[in-house]
Amino acid sequence: MSHPFEHRRPTELEDKAHAEAVRHFAEHLKQFPASREAVERLERDVAKVALAANMAAARPTPHQNVIQADDGAQWHKDVDLMENIHLCHRPITGGAEYAVVEHFPARDTYEIWNRGWNASEVLKVFTQEQRQALQVWREDMTAQVQEFLTEKFPGQDLSRVADAFIYKCTTQSVFQKQSHDHSHEQKHSRGMRI
Amino acid sequence: METIPKTETPPNPTPPERLAYSIQEAAEMLGVNYFSVYRLIQRGKLKPCRVLRGKLLVPRTELLKLLATE
């Protein structure tokens, strides 16, 4: 996917609309790249994380890392995958069973996402589901941005602005975002278009 | 001196309860980040409805159901 403004520079109105969308959806712009990168990192590290879980399953677990999940069984937390989401194992005859477990702090409950005898497979299923959740997010964000632009600038075709916003969300890295924030004012003072 | 009789002001009517919330509002109400709400939707734990242009709204009943069953 190429940047929607790559071949034709944005008009003044598009520039203004884009700036307003970025301001209005700042939280999406902050959270989406961070979540996307967390999923990408996990996809890259499936083998490493699975190995870490296998090794953890082979040695005794400290007492504080043992939790009771919603299936009633005791699970041993091995690796933190994301905020409040852990890869766990429980010893079974002849080996270990693995599960991705999410902690809901408000109720202090642990819910199993998916489970299996192969840590790597359990992780792969989990990352696929994360991808699907990101896709749901992307579609919703597109609809929200389109709605916002239609209400704010009625009668204008700002489809390129909506596309540019989604492009920014889906390609920008958290690091880029941080450096962008630092240099934003400086660039604007030189009349550059972002 | 005559005093003007006080007229009793009617109590503020309670605003009607919302039927549905945006993902941002749902995340705030549940105390989680946006991704968690989209994950709950992806897993079928929250059933949203689609409104104009496909924007997602989470019915209030779904949020209550989630909190009751969690």
pLDDT tens figures, A21-35: 999 999 999 999 999
Would you state the pLDDT for residue A194? 36
Interface test with A, best of B25, B42, B51, B67 (most A CBs within 10 A): B42
* ipTM score assigned to the predicted complex: 0.79
The reply to whether A100 and A73 lie within a common domain is yes
The reply to whether A68 and A101 lie within a common domain is yes
Residue A87: count other Cβ atoms within 10 Å of its Cβ: 25
Contact between residue B60 and residue B17 where contact means Cβ atoms under 8 Å apart: yes
Q: Is residue A1 part of a domain?
A: no
B34 and A133 within 8 Å at the Cβ level: the answer is: no
Q: How far is A59 from chain B (nearest CA, A)?
A: 32
Residue B14: count other Cβ atoms within 10 Å of its Cβ: 6
Report the number of distinct structural domains present in chain B.
1
Cβ-based contacts of A104 with chain B (< 8 Å) = 70
A140 and B31 within 8 Å at the Cβ level: the answer is: no
pLDDT, tens digit, 9 for 90 and up, residues B6-65: 666 666 777 788 999 999 999 998 888 899 999 999 999 899 999 878 899 999 999 999
Contact between residue A35 and residue B35 where contact means Cβ atoms under 8 Å apart: yes
Q: Is residue B31 part of a domain?
A: yes
Q: Which helix (H) or strand (E) holds A85?
A: strand A85-92
- pTM here? 0.80
Identify the CATH number of the domain in which residue B55 sits: 1.10.10
What is the C-alpha separation between A70 and A112, in angstroms, rounded?
A: 7
